[in-house]
């Protein structure tokens, strides 16, 4: 078990490629048995961070432990106790589901190979499809197979890198039900995602932008930490005023949602004053609202310095 109950505990992890710093002194902790959502725009350093945590990449600076093992000196041992699911499907499409799992079990010289494969097929609902070729599976079933593959060696920690990209809503829902089931059995899950509904299903979140962790906490803590306030404008023709409202100095973001506008600002009084003329328009209504996670993350991203600048 990781020291102090943390499955991941890293400080100052840094990775550079040439003059570009991809991950910039990242420090974070993931508690054992929790689902930790790792969010950020494309190119923000999520995948590089995950690879350093699981021993696949050596950091240029920084230190830390994964499952109590040093991420620099004990990387090979970390790999044996972690399951890593990559963004892209990486199994053999001309092999069946069972053949893929049996191949992985042999390559890694696992004991109880047949027992492990049978258990993995059963747990992920793949038993009835075990003879189907991987290349003929839908995105959702390929996802299940990939998860089964990285669970074969019974890892203590799962690192899932955008595992639901391109998967339909029903498959995403099933996948997340499985993730919560794994967490209930004491397995720690670090999952990177772009979907806000998935972020809300995590116990805690970290948001990385331009290589730096710019916010972390529970979804509720993150929503409260920025101090953002939100207003919802509704009424006939309200969306036609979106561009005009975006130019107001007290406004941070404007989002069109059907026949409504969501408007955020950093301070309530100036925002309400700026929106006052619209409150007086016939048939228009303005209501208070909590900022959404998407609005919070956009705000955090805008505050971060671009590492490509």
pTM across the whole model: 0.87
User: For 165-184, what is each residue's pLDDT tens digit?
Assistant: 777 888 888 889 989 999 99
Who wins on pLDDT, 131 or 164?
131
pLDDT of residue 7: 96
Q: Is the pLDDT of residue 213 over 70?
A: yes
Q: What is the CATH number of domain 229-290?
A: 3.30.70.100
Domain ranges of the chain: 3-220, 229-290
CA 54 from centre of chain:
16
CATH architecture of the domain 3-220 equals: 3-Layer(aba) Sandwich (3.40)
Who wins on pLDDT, 199 or 305?
199
Q: Is the pLDDT of residue 241 over 50?
A: yes
Same CATH topology for 3-220 and 229-290: the answer is no
* Percent with pLDDT over 70 in the chain: 97
User: For 43-79, what is each residue's pLDDT tens digit?
Assistant: 889 999 999 999 999 999 999 999 999 999 999 999 8
pLDDT of residue 308: 46
Average the pLDDT over 141-155 and give the result. Answer: 90
Q: How confident is the model at residue 21 (pLDDT cuts 50, 70, 90)?
A: very high
Q: Is the pLDDT of residue 255 over 60?
A: yes
Average the pLDDT over 88-93 and give the result. Answer: 88
């Amino acid at each position: 078990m990781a020291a102090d109950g943390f499955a991941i505990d890293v400080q100052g992890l840094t990775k550079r490629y040439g003059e570009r710093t991809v991950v910039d002194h990242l420090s974070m902790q993931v508690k054992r048995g929790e689902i930790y959502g790792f969010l950020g725009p494309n190119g923000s350093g999520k995948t590089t961070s995950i690879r350093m945590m699981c021993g696949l990449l050596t950091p240029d600076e920084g230190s830390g432990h994964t499952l109590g093992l040093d991420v620099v000196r004990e990387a090979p041992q970390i790999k044996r106790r972690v399951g890593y699911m990559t963004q892209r499907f990486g199994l053999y499409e001309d092999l069946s589901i069972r053949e893929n799992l049996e191949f992985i079990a042999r390559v890694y010289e696992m004991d109880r190979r047949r027992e492990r494969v049978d258990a993995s097929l059963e747990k992920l609902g793949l038993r009835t499809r075990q003879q189907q070729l991987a290349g003929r599976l839908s995105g959702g079933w390929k996802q299940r197979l990939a998860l089964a593959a990285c669970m074969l060696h019974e890892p203590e920690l799962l690192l899932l890198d955008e595992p639901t990209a391109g998967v339909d809503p029903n498959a995403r829902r099933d996948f997340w039900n499985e993730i919560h089931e794994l967490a209930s059995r004491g397995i720690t899950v670090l999952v990177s995602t772009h979907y806000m509904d998935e972020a809300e299903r995590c116990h805690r979140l970290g948001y990385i932008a331009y290589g730096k962790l710019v916010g972390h906490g529970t979804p509720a803590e993150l929503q409260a930490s920025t101090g953002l306030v939100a207003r919802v404008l509704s009424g006939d023709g309200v969306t036609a005023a979106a561009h005009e409202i975006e130019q107001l100095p007290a406004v941070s973001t404007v989002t069109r949602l059907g026949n409504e506008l969501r408007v955020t600002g950093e301070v309530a009084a100036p925002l309400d004053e700026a929106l006052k003329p619209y409150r007086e328009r016939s048939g228009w209504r303005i209501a208070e609202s909590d900022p959404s996670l998407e609005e919070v993350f956009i705000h955090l991203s805008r505050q971060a310095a671009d590492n490509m600048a």
